[in-house]
Amino acid sequence: MNNKYHFIAIGGVGMSGLAKYLIQQGCEVSGSDINESKYTAELKNLGATVYIGHSKNNVHKDDIVVISSAIKPDNPELVRAKELGCKIYHRSDILAQVSYNKKMFIGFAGTHGKTTTSGMSSYVLSKADMKPSFVVGGFIPEYSTNAEYNKDTEIFIAEMDESDGTLVKYSPDIVVVNNLEADHLDFYKNGLESIIETFQKLFANLKTTSKIIINNDNFGNLKLRGHDFITFGLDEAEYMAKNINMANGYTTFDVYHNGELLLDNVKIILPGEHNIYNTLAVITALNEAGVDINQLKEHFATFTGMGRRFQKMLSLEDIPVYDDYAHHPTEIKATLSAMKTFSNRHVVAVFQPHRYTRLKSLWNDFKSALTYADRLIITDVYAASEEPIEGVNSQKFASEIENAEYISGSIQEVANKLLPTLEKDDIVIGMGAGTITNLAKCLKTAKEG
């Protein structure tokens, strides 16, 4: 690796993880972001130079500049980097580069579940003292990190993001495709068809020894062609979960491989059928990687999930408040269905639509998924740098859903209006990929104020 890297927007979860990994490898790292955060604070503690605010003065001639697809061409640091003749790389290029240094690269991909499956793999291997290296898209709560470099391990685990097409730059030894659906429609103009084409390009670039693992129960995955797939699922697959029992806040099941019992009585405390699939994906990948999964079995039961994935943030007396990254109809349906396992609770969902393009393209799918809530509040759209689209707004969207309520303004204003209406048997969940993550904090402020 080269020695000096500068990250533009270093505070993002993906960028910060990669920056941390480079620091642990002995590289000098600097970066900038608009706001301070727990990610920038951790990087400072590790020795990174972090600038708050973007300025051309943050970039130096000997920097290797790292950007994401979110960085605009007129960003002053990117402009300056080009003026100075700095080498400029997309974060996917650097992630691909660090993956080459490990014998076994396991990459988790797909529309949903990438963060949970990559994080769960990293967690159970770490708990079993197998010391994996990893860069994932969320914090593993017990370890309070999203990345770890271990010099002596052969295993490297990463979440591979398909949102901007950079997926094709990777060449894992094992690829896991959790599921495929139409998403990121600002980039994939032909929806699922375009996403399938990107995955087919990824597969075409793999080594002949690479393994491709897919969820055999997913409609989108079944459109993938031309390769020998290793399958997992609940209906018909090489790796199957059977004898499933969901009760008392946990789920148990047995895992069969080609009809033979592989693991019995696997226990997880993550609710919902989608987390059975997530766990099965991890077991399949690690078994195919040659890991003794019997050493991992007990640790699945202690994995509490990733940050922002059905994460309990607060208790307002007897009212629990959760935060979830769900911003796609399938994710929302899975999360709200899982919440039904909380008996005698009234589910209050606060949904912040993420991007006008996604809301427009999946309008009816969102409406259907959100009906799983007992009470629904819709906040203003989180634009994520997009321009508004005429006729696509939260007020109109809420008006088309029976019993939905539109609350405008900041998340703090939403919390101020929501708090007085909550009742003792409620359970609250904020859903979305934007500022809705602050809902619990804002409810606490409203309570104290």
Kindly write down the DSSP assignment for every residue of 391-435, as one continuous string: TB-HHHHHHTSTTEEE--S-HHHHHHHHGGG--TTEEEEEESSSG
Q: Where are the domains of the chain?
A: 4-90, 102-300, 311-448
Q: Which residue has the higher pLDDT, 217 or 12?
A: 217
In order, the DSSP letters of 146-207 are: EEE--TT-SEEEEE---TTSGGGG---SEEEE----S--TTT-TTTHHHHHHHHHHHHHTS-
CB 342 within 8 A of CB 167: no
**In whole numbers, what is the pLDDT of the chain averaged over residues?**
93
Of 98, 132, 135, nearest to 115 (Cα)?
135
Distance CA 152, CA 162 (A): 29
Burial of 73 (0-12, 13-18, 19+ CB in 10 A): exposed
Distance CA 363, CA 384 (A): 18
Strands 250-257 and 239-247: antiparallel
Phi, psi for residue 241 in degrees, rounded to 5: -95, 125
Distance CA 56, CA 54 (A): 7
Strands 64-67 and 174-177: unpaired
Classify domain 102-300 at the CATH superfamily level.
Mur-like, catalytic domain (3.40.1190.10)
Q: pLDDT per residue over 32-71, tens digit each? A: 998 888 889 999 999 999 999 999 999 999 999 999 988 9
CATH 3.30.479.30 is right for the domain spanning 4-90:
no
Q: pLDDT per residue over 391-422, tens digit each? A: 999 999 999 998 899 999 999 999 999 999 99
Residue 1: pLDDT above 70? Answer: no
Q: How many CB atoms neighbour CB 34 within 10 A?
A: 10
What tokens were used for 161? 């993001």
Burial of 279 (0-12, 13-18, 19+ CB in 10 A): buried
Task: Give the pLDDT band of residue 9 (cuts 50, 70, 90).
Answer: very high
> 194 vs 163, 172, 200, 272, CA distance in Å?
11, 21, 10, 29
Of 313, 334, 333, nearest to 323 (Cα)?
313
* Residue 278: per-residue pLDDT: 96
Query: Lowest-pLDDT range, 24-28, 99-103, 343-347, 363-367?
Result: 343-347
CB 58 within 8 A of CB 76: no
Query: Lowest-pLDDT range, 10-19, 146-155, 274-283, 334-343?
Result: 334-343
CB 221 within 8 A of CB 215: yes
Q: Edge-to-edge strand order for the sheet containing 239-247?
A: 145-148, 133-140, 155-159, 104-109, 174-177, 211-215, 229-233, 239-247, 250-257, 260-268
* Residue 2: per-residue pLDDT: 62
Query: What percent of the chain has pLDDT above 90?
Result: 75
Going 209 to 211 to 212 to 217, the CA torsion angle's sign is: positive
3-state secondary structure (DSSP) of residue 240: strand
Same fold, 4-90 and 311-448: no
Task: Give the pLDDT band of residue 344 (cuts 50, 70, 90).
Answer: confident
CATH topology of domain 311-448: Protein-Tyrosine Phosphatase; Chain A (3.90.190)
